[in-house]
Amino acid sequence: MFSPRSAVVRRAVLLTAVILLSMSCQTVREVTNLNDVQFRIDRVADARLAGIQLSGIQTYEDFGAADVAQLTSALAQGRLPLSFTLFVEAENPPLNSVDARLTKMDWTLLLEDQETIAGAFDRRCAFRRERRRTCR
């Protein structure tokens, strides 16, 4: 026969299993709901070309002598690194029954159908139902 104590332990284990299963189903639904989330580029910030801040550059005349020297050096080395922070806005539509969650995403930027750069987004970002959110 089972003792009252073992019955309590069994109930606690069963309750824990139900809670964990419920939480994992919620997580799966949140990741699956990303299929319905609409993404768009919001803005670009902190753009740098070969280490030169581009925020105040409108024409080539805005480059100073040190900037031109730095660009020339980078070109001579065959390297012209471009870095920036891209802000992506996402809208989770009302038809999603739960929030959507992005945990990681590989991306590739195409310009005129040509791959230019690629990277990985490795931050967690949650998108509430019927709301917009910007992640970077």
Show me where the domains of the chain are located.
4-135
Residues 24-73: tens digit of each pLDDT: 454 555 555 566 778 788 888 999 999 999 998 999 899 999 999 999 99
Which one has a higher pLDDT value, 9 or 62? Answer: 62
Which is it for strands 38-49 and 52-53: parallel, antiparallel or unpaired? antiparallel
Higher pLDDT, 64 or 130: 64
Dihedral class, residue 37 (left if φ above 0, else alpha if ψ from -120 to 50, else beta): beta
Asked if 98 and 30 touch (Cβ cutoff 8 Å), the reply is yes
- Burial class for 102, CB neighbours closer than 10 Å (0-12, 13-18, 19+): buried
Higher pLDDT, 132 or 61: 61
Q: CA 74 to CA 57: how far, in whole Å?
A: 18
Q: How far apart are CA 19 and CA 41, in angstroms?
A: 37
Q: Is residue 6 within a helix (H) or strand (E), and if so which, with residue range?
A: helix 4-32
pTM comes to: 0.58
Q: In this structure, are residues 47 and 103 in contact, taking their beta carbons and an 8 Å threshold?
A: no
pLDDT in tens, 93-122: 777 777 777 777 788 888 888 988 888 877
